């Protein structure tokens, strides 16, 4: 239950800083959760783009939109 209750807490820089300070950790650098998420989603999109055969997907009726 606690894990569900705390989900997203570390996305808030102030909350993360406070928790780390409470735990006695010194923070050397800022962590930008949104930038990290964007980078990971880009990495996933690139992997899918490389792995999938888009011509077969289109032939099967999958609507494909260009970004």
pTM for the complete prediction? 0.53
Write the CB contacts of 33 (distance below 8 Å, at least 6 apart in sequence): 10, 11, 13
Q: Is 64 a member of any domain?
A: no
Within a domain: 39: yes
37 lies in some domain: yes
Q: Report the alpha-carbon distance of residue 45 to residue 39 in Å, rounded.
A: 10
How does DSSP assign 3-29, residue by residue?
HHHTTTGGGSHHHHHHHHHHTTPPP-S
Sequential pLDDT tens for the chain (67 residues): 455 566 777 777 788 888 888 899 887 777 777 888 899 999 999 999 999 888 898 899 888 776 5
Domain that holds residue 53: 8-58
3 within a domain of the structure (yes/no): no
Residue 8 has φ and ψ, to the nearest 5°, of 90, -10
Answer whether residue 14 is part of any domain: yes
What is the number of domains present in the chain?
1
* Cβ atoms within 10 Å, residue 10: 13
């Amino acid at each position: 239950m606690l894990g569900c209750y705390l989900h997203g807490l570390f996305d808030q820089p102030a909350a993360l800083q406070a928790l780390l300070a409470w735990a006695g950790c010194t923070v050397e650098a800022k962590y930008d959760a949104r930038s990290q998420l964007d980078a990971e989603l880009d990495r996933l999109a690139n992997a899918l783009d490389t792995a999938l055969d888009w011509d077969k997907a289109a032939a099967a009726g999958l609507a494909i939109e260009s970004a």
